[in-house]
Amino acid sequence: MKGIVSKVVMGAAALGLMLAPPAWAENIKVGAILAVTGPMSFLGGPEARTLEMLVAETNARGGIDGKPVELILKDSTGNPEKAVSFAKQLIEEDKVVAIIGPSSSGETMQIKKIAEDGKTPLLSCAAAEVIVDPVASYVFKTPQKDSDAVRSIYQEMKKLGLTNMAVLVDNTGFGKAGQEQLVKIAPEFNIKVVENEVYDKAANDLSAVVAKIKANKEVQAVVNWSVVPAQSIVAKNIRQMGWDVPIFQSHGFGNIKFVEAAGAAADGIIFPASRLLIASDLPDGHPQKALLVKYKKDYEDKYKENVSAFGGYAYDAFIIFEAAVKKAGSLDRDKVRAAIEQLKGLPSATGIFTFSEKDHNGLTIDAFQMMTVKGGKFVAYPAK
Amino acid sequence: MKRILPILPLLAVVVLVQLVTAWTGTQYYLTQMTMAAYYSLLIIGLCVLMGYAGQISLGHAGFFAIGGYLSAALTTRSLVPFKEAALVRLLDNCGMLHAGKDLYGGELLVVTPWAAAVFAVLVAALIAVAIGIPVLKLKGHYLAMATLGFGIIIYRLVLATPWFGEADGISGVPPFQLFSGVTVSGETSVRILNYYLAWGVLLCGLVLLINLMQSRIGRALRAIHGSEEAADAMGVNIARFKLQTFVLSAVFAAIAGVLLTHYNGGIGPSEAGVMKSVRYVAIVAVGGMAHLWGAMFMGVLLNFLSLRGVFGSYDDAVFGLILIVIMLFAPDGILSLITGRKKQAVTVPTVQQDREV
Amino acid sequence: MSTELFVQYLFAGITYGSIYAIVAIGFNIIYNTTGIINFAQGEFVMLGGMIAITLLSFMPLPAAIALAVIITMIIGALIEIIFIRWLKNPSVLRMIIITIGLSILTREAAVHIWGENIRALPYFVGNEITTIGIMGARISPQVLWVVGVCGVMVAVLHLFFRATSVGREMRACAANRLATILCGINPRNMVTFSFVLSAGMGALAGCVMSPITYSQYDMGTGLAIKGFTVAILGGLGNSGGAVAAGLLLGVIEAFSVSVVPLAFQDAIAIAILLLILFVKPHGIFGSGEAARLKAF
């Protein structure tokens, strides 16, 4: 009888050991929930690669304050239910100091409350403004505000004397948030939305809908707000119909692959974006220049692909995390959270971040630079 | 009673898992065990439809989404703008509405979770009846296409409707107080309770289905699956039994959707996607058609591993591989490898036999 | 609606329709010889485009396309030989699940080989902004390539099945497998050949449409669903029906943007399909007689 009891106890103990988490107390654990594969992978892919590169670089330098960083990367494939599961896992089980991601606004909104309840800073790489408005004390985001992008676009439209526009957005969370802001802010600039359509993120050809908006003679400009490859199809279809309407796009166009895909049709598209895309053209004194050029070179050397604005959002998240940990001098989540709110004038890939209790985005409209495409390359707008 | 006996060891395992996690301080495993249990509820429902009634459904995520989305939307979307509408006042008078404050401190008037859940499951059942009648007349690939089409329609609707949150889905779904002291919620403080609740629901569903399959309905279904003509000749009302099973499995899916949505605090369009439906069908197949235990076991295991992200970026790849390997080498499901016994219940006509009619 | 807009919609519809039809015919070829719906059909289209783009850096465009088609055919043959040939009397459901598994595996392999970025072949004539005018409407010359190549493929297939002995043997297999064996034809080889043929067609379609639609690792699923829809609508196994149903669906989709928001387009297209299935359970052009033999 005794033998059986001891066997049961030993068995249970072995099971317990197996289940127990590995204890590496000295590492700085940071979690990341990104859509590395799946339909949003063109966001999550560059984000994950950027983080891996930054963590490797930081550890090669000896870590943050002498402590190595351990990145726990979870691939959500863009599914909110997985993001929920992973967020709980990272907070409770892996006891991370902060979570970077998710890539999409839908996933971020689903785990906002979990981060709040788990008192863990969440640095989202998704754009929608609802993430930080109203402010939740543990939730931050790195991409620029949609409303600032809309204002940048409308200012240019105003200068060009365009007042009637067609709005085309994709059916992702990015497109949805953009559509809301575009419609909401238009009256401030006396701009009228005369056509408003949503296209599928996996669309193969959009010539039918382009034909429809082209037939509306009131349309003076097209705003094509999207983060998916299909946005290049819109641009192509417009030009293939011999329609030389001005095309405006969003910061979701900030991936040179989309320009390559649209080819000659991309020329002349006007859009607001991060300065990362034109790093080497920046004036020498610009506070972001040095780090942008380095990030671009490191990333392109390592992964043999062009850097994109999306990877830049993950870059920001890590830089903010690193700065906050240094400032807090502690790995306590509350102290790190408080330290993020105190960061002022921190230059990073997307812009210069200045957080406060009320502002968990930290960027102003100045983080946008109007750009255009010339000969298959991003250049500052107006083009020289 | 005899039929319920096999449940007891499973119940013991459920309790043991909880005790071991409590003892080793690893209760966080219970979160994913709870989620996996809800998915398995859908899977055992689908198993009855596929294995016993022999009807494939490539649109079951649609029913899950109907349940989840309706209860999420009704319990989060404020009715304040429609306060004066007759219907809203009627609901209010019946005690089905709940007033509160939203994040901004504004007035909030939503449907209570109970009313929303009942409504969501009823709608799912009604839709199942409405589409089941014409769809179940179809055969083979045409049936597959029709159910796939149903799933795509639901996916497109939730993705295009602002009331359902479009691409963002619905977040901030409140906890669901089933009765005093028992709440479906993802909060850490009620995790153990929710674990037992989810598994309780799953086991109840399992007992129900096991008994059902050994009753007159189960025998009728097996007769239909064996040969529709023969069953028809014996006086079995084929259309009615098929429809009942279809509706039953839709209700299981909708209940799973309602509960998991309240547990997660939200739902997104990926829950309605075609890939989800395919996944459910595949899990049933891997567990063994007409093998409730196998389907439940694989449902829990695969969902648990996937929700923990153990396969990283290879999640889908591993899943595809499991599918192929099991279907190539153990077409009767993974349990047939262990038990070595071929099921008697189902004889699926083969491609070649079919073609030689 | 002006003539110009009408023609513009019509061409958009024909473009979508040709693409759907060609995927649907791929389904039909395999279905006819085996009774299997190969859910990995869309993956052949993806592979064709992706391989051609990769090869383009080593050789001129026509050679890259030809080689890509051949490589995809070899992959099609390998898939059949490794996963399907040796199965004895597989059930239809088992085959559906195996091909779904193959589709998932191919897609995941593609994302790890080529990454998640979109790629495209260059336009065969001109570039992204070249247009030609037809009755007031303007379209890209690539649209004519897509329509033309799809048309030629359908014609060649028709001739192949009617006029060559291999084609006749494949049709014999479709009609009565047992009798074919008695005639000394090996139906297994015919099955392998049907995979090769359907992979090749898919790959060629993938190359021709790549400049318009782009090639991405996950494009297969969407195409497979549309192709399956069209195959069912046209009646399984009926290639003429597939062309008609494909064009019909494409044109309906194109014209529907003028009345319904684009976001609901797919939901409406599928709802129409379901209604048709409820009224005519074997598709518009399918016969109940033929379908009953292949039910499971």
Could you tell me the pLDDT band of residue C294, with boundaries at 50, 70 and 90?
very low
**Alpha-carbon dihedral of residues A101, A102, A108, A111, nearest 10 degrees?**
-90
Q: What is the pLDDT of residue B103?
A: 59
Q: What is the pLDDT of residue C295?
A: 36
Q: Which of A158-172, A343-357, C277-291 has the lowest mean pLDDT?
A: C277-291
Q: What is the pLDDT of residue A217?
A: 92
Contact residues for B128 (Cβ-Cβ < 8 A; gap 6+)? B63, B246, B247, B250, B251
**Alpha-carbon dihedral of residues C169, C172, C177, C181, nearest 10 degrees?**
-50
Condensed to tens digits (0 to 9), the pLDDT of residues A52-69 reads 999 999 999 999 988 999
Q: What is the pLDDT of residue A181?
A: 94
Domain boundaries, chain A: 28-144+291-365, 146-273
Task: For chain B, report the end-to-end CA distance as a whole number of angstroms.
Answer: 44
Q: The domain at A28-144+291-365 falls in which architecture?
A: 3-Layer(aba) Sandwich (3.40)
What residues does A74 pair with on adjacent strands? A33
Q: What is the pLDDT of residue C279?
A: 85
- Mean pLDDT by runs of 10 across the 357 residues of chain B is 74 92 90 95 94 88 96 89 79 79 71 93 96 88 89 93 91 89 89 94 93 86 80 83 93 97 94 91 85 90 92 86 87 73 44 38
Full residue range of the structural domain in which residue C66 is found: 3-293
Q: What is the pLDDT of residue B287?
A: 87
Domain boundaries, chain B: 7-352
- Please state, for a pLDDT cut of 70, what percent of chain C lies above it: 96
Which fold, A146-273?
A: Rossmann fold (3.40.50)
Residue type, B245: T
**Cα–Cα nearest to B54, from B227, B210, B199, B182:** B227
Condensed to tens digits (0 to 9), the pLDDT of residues C129-172 reads 888 888 888 888 999 999 999 899 989 988 998 889 888 888 88
Question: Any alpha helices (H) in C214-238, and if so which ranges?
Answer: 219-233
**Cα–Cα nearest to A347, from A333, A332, A367:** A367
**Cα angle value C228/C229/C231 (rounded, 5°):** 60
State both tokens at A311: 């990877």
Buried b / exposed e across C45-66, counting CB within 10 Å, b at 16+?
Answer: bbbbbbbbbebbeeeeeeebbe
Q: Distance (Å, rounded) from C-alpha B11 to C-alpha B17? A: 10
Q: How many domains does chain C have?
A: 1
**How far does the CA of residue C132 sit from the closest CA of chain A (Å)?**
8
Q: Which of B342-351, C68-77, C234-243 has the lowest mean pLDDT?
A: B342-351
Q: Distance (Å, rounded) from C-alpha A349 to C-alpha A288? A: 7
Contacts of A184 in chain B (CB under 8 A): none
Give the residue from chain C lying closest to B147, CA to CA.
C274
How many CA atoms, within 13 angstroms, populate the side-chain half-sphere of residue B316? 27
Task: Tell me the residues of B at the A interface, defined by beta carbons under 8 Å apart.
Answer: 20-21, 23-26, 28-29, 31-32, 35, 103-104, 159-160, 165-169, 171-172, 186-188, 260, 264-271, 306-309, 312-313, 315-316
Contacts of B187 in chain A (CB under 8 A): 117
Q: What is the pLDDT of residue A19?
A: 47
What residues does A222 pair with on adjacent strands? A166, A247
Q: What is the pLDDT of residue B349?
A: 43
Element spanning C53, H or E: helix C41-55
Q: Distance (Å, rounded) from C-alpha A353 to C-alpha A269? A: 28
Q: What is the pTM of this model?
A: 0.90
Do the chains contact at B24 and A15, CB–CB below 8 Å? yes
Which of C104, C111, C287 is the best residue to mutate to test the B interface, defined by the most B CB atoms within 10 Å of its own CB?
Answer: C104
Q: Does C261 touch chain A if contact means CB atoms closer than 8 Å?
A: yes
Pick from C15, C138, C257: which is nearest to A242 by CB? Answer: C138
Q: Does C30 touch chain B if contact means CB atoms closer than 8 Å?
A: no
Q: Distance (Å, rounded) from C-alpha C47 to C-alpha C37? A: 19
Could you tell me the pLDDT band of residue C178, with boundaries at 50, 70 and 90?
confident
Length of chain A: 384
**Cα angle value B349/B351/B357 (rounded, 5°):** 75
Q: Which residue's entry shows tokens 């339909």? A: A39
Average pLDDT, chain C: 87
Q: What is the pLDDT of residue A231?
A: 93
Q: Which residue's entry shows tokens 């009774």? A: C35
**Cα–Cα nearest to A263, from B127, C211, C1, C91:** C211
Query: What secondary structure letter does DSSP report for C221?
Result: H
**How far does the CA of residue A384 sit from the closest CA of chain B (Å)?**
39
Q: Does C144 touch chain A if contact means CB atoms closer than 8 Å?
A: no
The residue among C28 and A22 whose pLDDT is bigger is C28
Q: What is the pLDDT of residue B233?
A: 84
Whether the pLDDT of residue A17 is over 90: the answer is no
**Cα angle value B253/B321/C195 (rounded, 5°):** 105
Do the chains contact at A45 and C115, CB–CB below 8 Å? yes
Average pLDDT, chain A: 89
Q: Distance (Å, rounded) from C-alpha A230 to C-alpha A346? A: 34
Pick from B168, B187, B260: which is nearest to A106 by CB? Answer: B168
Contacts of C293 in chain B (CB under 8 A): 354-355, 357
Which of C30, C32, C96 is the best residue to mutate to test the B interface, defined by the most B CB atoms within 10 Å of its own CB?
Answer: C96
Pairing of strands A369-374, A270-273: antiparallel
Whether the pLDDT of residue A187 is over 50: the answer is yes
Length of chain C: 296
Q: What is the pLDDT of residue B104?
A: 62
Q: What is the pLDDT of residue A24?
A: 45
Q: Which residue's entry shows tokens 């379901």? A: C274
Which 129-158 residues of chain A touch chain C by CB within 8 A?
A: none
- Please state, for a pLDDT cut of 70, what percent of chain A lies above it: 93
- Read off the pLDDT of each residue in A341-353 and give the average, rounded to a whole number: 94
Condensed to tens digits (0 to 9), the pLDDT of residues A91-113 reads 999 999 999 989 999 999 999 99
**Cα–Cα nearest to A263, from A296, A302, A235, A297:** A235
Q: Compute CA distances A138 → A115, A135, A319, A343, whole Å.
A: 7, 9, 17, 15
Phi then psi for residue A140, to 5 deg, are -125, 165
Question: For residues A84 and B266, is the Cβ–Cβ distance under 8 A?
Answer: yes
Q: Residue B174 in 3-state DSSP?
A: coil
Q: Distance (Å, rounded) from C-alpha A250 to C-alpha C56? A: 32
Give the residue from chain B lying closest to C232, CA to CA.
B142
Question: For residues A328 and A130, is the Cβ–Cβ distance under 8 A?
Answer: no
CATH at residue C42? 1.10.3470
Pick from C212, C255, C258: which is nearest to A205 by CB? Answer: C212
Q: Does C116 touch chain B if contact means CB atoms closer than 8 Å?
A: no
**How far does the CA of residue B105 sit from the closest CA of chain C (Å)?**
34
Phi then psi for residue A195, to 5 deg, are -140, 145
- Read off the pLDDT of each residue in A372-381 and give the average, rounded to a whole number: 91
Residue type, B279: R
Question: For residues A205 and A135, is the Cβ–Cβ distance under 8 A?
Answer: no
**How far does the CA of residue A38 sit from the closest CA of chain B (Å)?**
9
Pick from A16, A74, A114: which is nearest to B24 by CB? Answer: A16
Condensed to tens digits (0 to 9), the pLDDT of residues A109-164 reads 999 999 999 999 999 999 888 899 889 999 999 999 999 999 999 999 999 999 99
